[in-house]
Amino acid sequence: MAALFLILSSLFGSAAATAVNNSCGSWDAPLVLCINKYASVLPGHFSRAVSTDPSITDSFHTTVVPDDATFASIHNATFLVFDFARAKGILGAHPSFNIMFHTAPVPQEAPVYVPELQRLYVTQVSTGLVKQIVIDVSVSPPTMEYMTGDPPLYAATGSVYHNGLVYYSTTGRNGSDPAFVTSPGIYTFDPKTNKTEALLNNYFGYFFNGADDLAIERNGDVWFTDDFYSWLDKTSTDRPALPPAIYRFRPSTGAVQVVHTGLRQPNGIRFSPSGKTLYVSDTGAASGPLSVPFDEIHYTWDSRGPRTLFAFDVVPSATDSDASAIVSGRPIYLSQDWVPDGIQVARNGYIVTATGQGVDVLDESGVLLARVQTPFRAASIAFAGEGLRDLWIVGTGNIARVRWNLQG
């Protein structure tokens, strides 16, 4: 896909109009075009279709603006710049986007980079036993192979590399198949031996609904989200029995404690570099009924539902001097496209989130700075490579790489 940046320049008069500008700072005009003032004024009778079909992603570039013939060129852009001054530090002089691998048409999640091995691990999520993908980024072009953990991981959707181990959150459990002995929870994977180990697989006898994503605090506590998506994906045959929640788990003692139950479908989760803020996405706009029989399970989509990134203040626990709590949860970003799924936080504090047909880059307060548009629905992301300056994007059947200047 050719890299383009789009600028919409407002013209003064009785009716506002927009036009493509060929100049965007020091970038070459064919490659660098920017959005002027967030396209806050569109001319004439514009419209953006609203779908109730979860398989259809309506995007900003699908907006119909009959009075601006240039607006349609947004559809062909790869990079959209909303804040020119800060985007220079994000994109660098020569940003690029390439689809590196086409894979089986199944959802792909939990990309995680192991710097000592220069390998990126990606999981595939389906109702069958699937292998993990291993990408060697030390060679050019990168190579891809498949491997299976011992014992195999099933439906892992979240990941963090910490102290030589990959920590996975898993969402699936198939009670009718003896091959799947794992339950939703927290597992470790040793990339040097391929050994996996269960750290947490129940809440006082209850199965977790589906541990979707996790983040590790500086003291080693594992914070994770638990939502209903394993039931909707049919990777779990156990109907949800617990409320959607955010949990804190201490591996050294085995203690797990609920810390928040106010989000409809808590999903992506990450700490800020300082550890003083916890970002969690609520993706409840993509949901589904729980009361139907298993063979009738289906997704529903309501653009009016939660599609929001929240920021929580991390404070000392009032009852446990060794633990943290979260307070002052506040919405900071309403996804412009689909829902904010996978989250990463850059070294400078910028938030990067997979949102439908692309990836959004936000500042710490949730202001949109730039967007990478993708020809597939992006599910999850990971920084990798030299200096952690490459961003890998995974989605159903596709694995892509962005080369820019933002450092993980």
CATH class of this structure's domain 97-403 = mainly beta
Report the pLDDT value the prediction gives residue 21, as an integer from 0 to 100.
Answer: 41
The mean per-residue pLDDT over the stretch 248-264 comes to 97
pLDDT over 70 (residue 62): yes
Tens digits of residue pLDDT in 100-132: 999 999 899 999 999 999 999 999 998 776 789
CB 290 within 8 A of CB 231: yes
Q: In sequence order, what are the beta bridge partners of 371? A: 80, 360
Instruction: Calculate mean pLDDT across residues 231-238.
Output: 89
57 pLDDT band, cuts 50/70/90, is confident
Q: 3-state secondary structure string, the chain?
A: CCCCCCCECCECCCCCECCECCCECCECCCCCCCCHHHHCCCCCCCECCCCCCCCCCCCHHHCECCCCCCHHHHHHCCEEECCHHHHHHHHCCCCEEEEEEECCCCCEEEEEEECCCCEEEEEECCCCCCCEEEEECCCCCCEEEEECCECCCCCEEEEEEECCEEEEEECCECCCCCCCCCCCEEEEEECCCCEEEEEECCECCECCCCEEEEEECCCCCEEEEECCHHHHHCCECCCCCCCCEEEEEECCCCEEEEEECCCCCEEEEEECCCCCEEEEEECCCEECCCCCCHHHCCCEECCCCCCEEEEEEEEECCCCCCCEEEEEEEEEEECCCCCEEEEEECCCCCEEEEECCEEEEECCCCCEEEEEECCCCEEEEEEECHHHCEEEEEECCEEEEEECCCCC
**Mean pLDDT across 358-371:** 97
Mean pLDDT for 30-55 is: 84
How many residues can be counted in the chain?
Answer: 408
Which of the pair, 183 or 146, is modelled with greater confidence? Answer: 146
Whether pLDDT at 208 is above 90: yes
> Cβ(322)–Cβ(248) under 8 Å?
no
How far is 279 from 349, CA to CA, in rounded Å?
A: 11
Predicted local confidence at residue 23, as pLDDT:
52
Q: Is the pLDDT of residue 15 over 50?
A: no
Question: Where in the chain is CATH 2.120.10.30?
Answer: 97-403
**Amino acid 182: pLDDT:** 75
Question: Which of the residue ranges 108-117, 292-301, 385-394 would you say has the lowest mean pLDDT?
Answer: 292-301
| pLDDT band at residue 153 using 50, 70 and 90 as cut-offs | confident
Confidence category of residue 175, pLDDT binned at 50, 70, 90: low
> Which pLDDT score is estimated for 68?
85
pLDDT value at 179 more than 60: no
Burial of 139 (0-12, 13-18, 19+ CB in 10 A): exposed
**Chain Cα centroid distance, residue 278:** 15
Interval 305-354: pLDDT, tens: 999 999 999 999 887 778 899 999 999 999 999 999 999 999 999 999 99
- Tell me the whole-structure pTM to 2 decimals: 0.93
Query: What tens digit of pLDDT does each residue of 257-277 get?
Result: 999 999 999 999 999 999 999
pLDDT exceeds cutoff 70 at 219 = yes
- Distance (Å, whole) CA 372 – CA 385: 19
Is the predicted pLDDT of residue 9 greater than 80, yes or no?
A: no
